[in-house]
Structure 1
Amino acid sequence: MTGLRELQRQRVHDAISTAAIALFLERGFDEVPVTEIAAAAGVSKPTLFKYFPTKEDLALHRIADHRGEAARVVRRRAEGEGAVQALRRHFLDGLARHDPVTGLNDDPEVVAYHRMVFFTPTLAARLLQHMALEERALAEALAETTDDLTAGLLAGQVLATQRVLARRTWEQLAGGRPLGEVEAEAVRAAGRAFSLLPAL
């Protein structure tokens, strides 16, 4: 019974998310009222807010799905593997998968989604809040093997590195450059960027 209930919750969650993103990309985040999203998803407004507490959450949950990822990579790294080495490997793996979070995905909806997030002020501000939480979580994971100051500084550097790399890659794709060309450059850039971080 619990499994069926959870499956139903996931279906409702996905229906709301799909309706919201489609409407946002069609008309713009600020132009779509929550009531319209609820109607398109076939749920009530109160039900929508049970799944997504704010309108911004409707747009950013795809990014929020990666919450705590960097900290998990550090904690689950192989014995003898450095934290920065593990984070570099994870980012390169993401590029190889064309994970949208790396910026290396030329699906028109993904490109448009990033444009919406980057250029909608309320979403950009909320994204900074998300990054701050990620930085704190990563710092806590790093502090398990080093001092607090080093952990905090490195966490900020790592996440800034990933953010700059992803934005740079997205801008190249959004500008019309072919994926294969951009991918080769993104891999080189990631290798260089992570080599500039202190080893830990």
Structure 2
Amino acid sequence: MGEMGLRERKRQRMYREVSDIAVRLFLEKGFDAVSVAEVAAAAQISKPTLFRYFPAKEDLVLHRIADHEEEAARIAAGHPEAPLAALRRNFLDGLARFDPVTGLNDDPEVLAFHRLLYGTPSLVARAHGHQERAEARLAEALGGDLDARLAAGQIAAVQRVLAMDNWRRIAAGEKAADLLPRAVAAAERAFGRLERGLPELGGGG
């Protein structure tokens, strides 16, 4: 057990280190200007080893958001009596701590990463796949039927639109701390509408 835990930690560290090296190169030179071979050389691993960890070049960047794929489903499954209230609370908590996933973060490195992500068509397309899988897992956690899939689609859309609105405002020069009250009010309003439209998911928490 201890050995497996150590091996898994080493594997996760390798993922993180190689991803960080790749993102630095992409930010410096542009995503399309950096080859996978260049990333492998900078990380001091072979190209086949790199592809074992990251099947596609885009995955080197999207590793940073891939761990959020299970988040909404985990929260919903953990609060089966009121999943929507739990998701709302989680999003508001994320805003309060300026979690980059909410779009409300003006750290220069986070902004540069978001510009790289949203400014590269192949990364946008790959990110869309992550969003679809996250939505599908949320739907399963909500019951897996058509009603659950419709609800998951609405919840995912609200979270995505809120995060993109925050990110666009910050990219235009607004400060995260100044934007926080507006972002909280927008999230409260959006989740309030979801709760009124999806009362069976236990809103109003």
TM-score, normalized by the shorter chain, greater than 0.5? yes
Matching residue of 2:113? 113
Question: Structure 1 runs of 4+ off > 4 angstroms?
Answer: none
CA distance in 1, matches of 2:103, 2:137: 22
Q: Distance in 2 between matches of 1:135 and 1:114?
A: 21
CA distance in structure 1 between the aligned counterparts of 2:193 and 2:167, rounded to whole angstroms:
22
Q: How has the CA–CA distance of structure 1 residues 68 and 8 changed in structure 2, closer, same or farther, with 3 Å as cutoff?
A: closer
Question: Taking every aligned residue pair, what percent have the same amino acid on both sides?
Answer: 56
1:46 pairs with one of 30, 36, 48? 48
Please name the residue that 1:61 is paired with: 63
* Alpha-carbon separation, structure 2, partners of 1:194 and 1:12: 38
- 1:50 Cα offset (Å): 1.4
Q: Which residue of structure 2 aligns with residue 142 of structure 1?
A: 142
2:149 is matched with which residue? 152
| Structure 2 unmatched ranges of 5 or more | none
Matched residues in 2 for 1:6 and 1:129: separation?
A: 25
- Aligned-pair RMSD on alpha carbons? 1.5
Counterpart for residue 161 of structure 1 = 158
Give the residue type in structure 1 aligned to 2:183: A
Q: Hey, what's the Cα distance between the residues in 2 that align with 1:42 and 1:98?
A: 34
Residues 16-73 of structure 1, C-alpha deviation per residue, up to 9 Å, x if partnerless? 1111110111122111101111111111111111111110110111111111111110
Where does residue 96 of structure 1 map in the other structure?
Answer: 96
Query: Residue 98 of structure 2 contacts residue 176 of structure 2 at CA under 8 Å; is this kept in 1?
Result: no
Work out the CA distance in 2 between the residues paired with 1:100 and 1:4: 28
Q: C-alpha separation between the residues in 2 aligned to 1:166 and 1:137? A: 20
Alignment length, in residue pairs? 195
* TM-score, L = length of structure 2: 0.90
| Alignment of 1:191 onto 2:188 | yes
Show structure 1 runs of 5+ residues with no match: none
One-letter identity of the residue aligned with 1:17:
S
